[in-house]
Structure 1
Amino acid sequence: MAPATATLVALTCKAYINSGLASIKVSGLQTLVKALHDEQRNQGHGVVTVSNHISTLDDPMTWAVLPWRYFQNPRLTRWTLGASEIMFTNPFLSEFFSHGQVLETFRGMGIFQPSVNTSIEKLNQGEWIHLYGEGKVNQPAKYELDASGRASLPRFKWGVGHMITSASNIPTVIPMWISGFDKLMPEGRRAPFKYFPRPGAQLTVTFGDPIAPEALLKTIQNIPEADPVRIRTHVTTLVHDAVESLGRSVSGNTLGNAVPKDPLE
């Protein structure tokens, strides 16, 4: 059922875009395509994509950039983690998201929980895991400013580094940057508007170059006494900085703009 669920959702998102209700521009897609078709996956080298998280429609709308046939093949469809209190609140939603290759995740339970363990097992099988490193929606209007006055991407959860470093083989890690999704589904709107996408959003999805495996290995090997806490912290920071750097290159160093007030509110 997973392919059917994924295909239905993907076609719905593609139809929304093709109808002209939103536009989407993609860059670097070939990087992901190459990784998904790499023969190393058959030897247990997984694929990890990591992006910022700016709306409730980031997933699945982001994956509307993929050819529809990808969603008929579970091997070419991402696994991801979903919040239990949002996506698994009743039997229907639980079935729907489970069949859409979403792993139920409990906020506050830390990195040693079933969904994280399953993600590591998936990587060992050469599967593709997509992560929203912040662990929740953070729209650009609420980004904090760093010491130089620049917007800064919120820190990533340590589970990012834990999954990457716990896999049997270092996976291919691809940073991503998405924009415009905060205009599609702004946070803080009143009912009923908060349940509907705003038409006219201009979306972008950018895939960066994979993080060099040598950089990940060097980060791991340079930690004294192979301290697991420091290892996953440093790897998580490395991934965070790669995503943030990609975002700066895409957005002209702004990391996005403030969310405008909905004229319908």
Structure 2
Amino acid sequence: MRTMEWAARRDHLGGVPRKLIFMAAGAFSKTVANLLNTTTVYNLETLLRHVRHRPPGVPLLTVANHMSTLDDPLMWGFKDFPITDPELGRWVLAAEDICFKNPVLSYFFRIGKCIPITRGGGIYQEHMDEALDRLTDGAWVHTFPEGKVCQEDAPIRRLKWGTASLIARAPVTPIVLPIFHRGFEKVMPENYMFGRRPPFPLCKKDIEIYIGEPIVFDIPKLKQMAVDTSRKEFISHCHSEWPETVCGMDEAAQRCLYTNISDRIQLVLEKLRTVSKTCLNTN
């Protein structure tokens, strides 16, 4: 049974709880990002255009590196972003063991448009289908495809396949927008005192957010390439819980497809990271 799915509905109590949560979270995020710290955003117009003015029925999927437990919602708290508008707000995949520990937290994050994901539960777990439903609705979904927080200044890690599976299975291929950020690891460090996070976000830090250009995926072509590759190469089947076929592809072809999509996203995020380091060294 999906965790408090009823609370995530748009019409839950007339939408009032969702509006209140977005106003509160938005005010908190804007305070931390703009008043207590300094946030610089590059290529903001691209993000705003796709959040506000993309064609009807076309979903938006943003992907970003994961630097702290507060990346979302703080990364949307910069100036001129409509973070307090629940209609424009993102749906985000959130770790079930962190955000959904008890009924109170579950309700809070559910009305905040968070979708619980069981880490290690596989790419075909029930809640991934819920994320797919949101893309099918033409909504905006955000993911952290690295799967966990990493505060080291290191290359983008190998991405989990969940994001790739959403892109491949969506009835309308989403606009995939890459985002790289740095600075949140200083605002909410994992090992601040006695190996714990600080009780409140830290101040006087510099945050930089780099918005890339949309990554274009020709899904029919990629699917055919995956089928051809899987036939030529021996690929062991080790995910017995996977469905026998998805979009007409067996498991071997699915694995090829998700690897290709994930590698492309990883490459683009790594390029954004390189650009950010160049800017950092220049300033």
**Shorter-chain TM band:** 0.7 to 0.9
CA distance in 2 between counterparts of 1:236 and 1:14 reads 31
Pick one of 24, 47, 53 that aligns with 1:8.
24
**Equivalent residue in structure 2 for 1:207, among 211, 216, 222:** 211
| Alignment match, 1:247 | 273
Conserved in 1, the CA contact under 8 Å of 2:32 and 2:74? no
- Give the Cα–Cα distance (whole angstroms) in 1 for the partners of residues 217 and 23 of structure 2: 32
State the shift of 1:94 in Å. 0.7
Q: Does 1:34 align with 2:46?
A: no
Q: Relative CO higher for 1 or 2, CA cutoff 8 Å, sep ≥ 6?
A: 1
* Structure-2 change in CA distance of 1:247 and 1:18 (3 Å): closer
Structure 1 residue 186, shift from structure 2 partner: 1.2
Q: 2:118 maps to which residue?
A: 106
For residues 47-80 of structure 1, give each alpha carbon's deviation from its aligned partner in whole angstroms, at most 9, with x where no partner exists.
0000100111111100102646453232x10101
Give distance in 2, aligned partners of 1:221 and 1:124. 22
CA distance in 1, matches of 2:111, 2:147: 21
Match of 1:174 in 2: 177
Whichever residue aligns with residue 31 of structure 2, its letter is A
2-side partners of 1:55 and 1:219: how far apart?
33
Task: Indicate the residue corresponding to 1:82 in structure 2.
Answer: 94
The one of 123, 129, 132 aligned to 1:117: 129
Q: Which residue number in structure 2 is paired with residue 228 of structure 1?
A: 254
Match of 2:235 in 1: none
The answer to whether the Cα contact below 8 Å between 2:41 and 2:210 also exists between their aligned partners in 1 is yes
Are the counterparts in 2 of residues 51 and 133 from structure 1 also a CA contact under 8 Å?
yes
Structure 1: tracts of 5 or more residues without a match? 144-151, 256-265
| RMSD of aligned Cα (Å) | 2.2
Cα pair distance change 1:188/1:212, threshold 3 Å = same
Count of aligned pairs between the two proteins: 241
Give 1:237 deviation, angstroms: 1.1
Structure 1 distance, partners of 2:220, 2:43, is 24
Q: Any gaps of 5 or more consecutive residues in structure 2?
A: 1-16, 229-248
